[in-house]
Structure 1
């Protein structure tokens, strides 16, 4: 009930800020016009995900900024879950987002729509938010509410069709503490209702009649999930144009998962054109209350899961990045082109999820699964 109460408070604050925005004395600023062309790639755990993305943001007059975003994912390979119970596959996901920001005094009102389509999953969402500057721009309060409607299918079974209803609420407070220190406190609540598990994933249970020593049955999840996240962001601007960021985040949900992560990032300008950045992130979580790697018998519980993302695990991310400001174009001198390259290496260590593809061991004694992944993002940005 506490999570729903937070959602009600956010909605009420949205209305209050919407009314206050029309009487502002200090003007906020719309986002800068820009275009971005991105290539992204994920390689790890037997899965390859890659594709392009295009984003465009442009002002329409002095008070309106429009944005559009299109993203394509091609997924191929087989994760450890798929290797255990099925075969490799290839699929494509396309996502489109449209948004409009309206400037009213010292408030920016935002409306966004998103839609993603796969051959077995379709999702639509809409969100409304407002960011309000006060105390001469030293303090910013932001609020957002969103609704989503997903349709879940299953390849090879045209009769399978399930729904998921989603709602999320965000509130954030950003404060300029000094000329070199900015801090932000953000809170998010998500309420999900419907078919929340993967229709292809299975759990395993002990079965002495099976030569492997275990058998499989479909996962069963609760039909609701409430989540709460609280994060603290600190940014320090150093004398030589460098910057240091420290982010702390706590997460908990109604499935009894508790998580904490911390991220340290450093940005260092080498020259007027070159900027380097490095980051280190640690994440750790507990398991869901209905998760087990190996159940004692079939249908042991009302809810049963073996998704490794619901197990107890941690991961460590090491990231490096570089950006280079290109020379301005003679035919468009007001535009500022820029190249960016970012690479992350992530190591996942699962504490109670075992690699069942290794068969020369006793049931339940397989080695714990470990995953190394590389994420690459290369993009060209144009500010104008």
Structure 2
């Protein structure tokens, strides 16, 4: 989290250094079938911020892999938290037990939002978290007697995951193209991305931030009207777009404008902070940089959440949805085998405590 945002740049383009140790090349003995990735180096170990392939120079992990390893590799404090939890119990079904590490992590996450988000579901990948957010948005309106709210509005040049639902929402053309025949185009719709560098009207300086935001809000309002405002369940967007647009933040006021359109039509606001969250914008949660008025109804986090020490993601649920669940005793019809995994939770909590203690995000 020392860098602003990470990307999944291939190892071949990372920074190379002379190897510290002579590690023999064992790749020829793997005996695996040919794949498009056969040319990649075989990793022998990783330490600190370096990878050590089985042959060749060490490689500076400047991108944290796929934007994940925010604290580097080999942290003994995180190993300790993981092994301590595994000695107690390594797995417990979310449907049968509450566990201390999940409860402690959930409490930490709620506190990190200033109690603006109220409920937490721990999962293992960003795509899982997005799928859960989409499903919870639908079920929320079923509980409200509005089952006709089945449309989602996302943005062009966006990336929300690789499962069918999350890819249907995404505007990442190359990743969508092979699967167009099964993506749910009838329920997932997109408006233009928010790219103030490329999309301003007229010569430089002719369109102010305020005017640009008004135009972006008008585009969103037009899509609500096209679909029918009472058919839209949620607007889904990345506060800072990562893989699909190139670390592009929105101008000041944009999130507030989107929030206002959603509120005007009763739709939920879902913020995908899988890549840009957990400190990568100088705030624990990217939406906090917009001020008190902009709080999502649902939020997803992953990547730097557990720093690669365990596969971890989470869905955070705000007052509007969580409050209804509490008042009416509603239960989300959802679940994964590894949901609320105690070892995942122990790792993520230790990573976040280290980030907080060491001030890793303060230089952003």
TM-score for both structures, normalised by structure 2: 0.25
Structure exhibiting the larger radius of gyration computed from Cα positions: 1
TM-score by length of 1: 0.24
Higher relative contact order (CA 8 A, sep 6+): 2
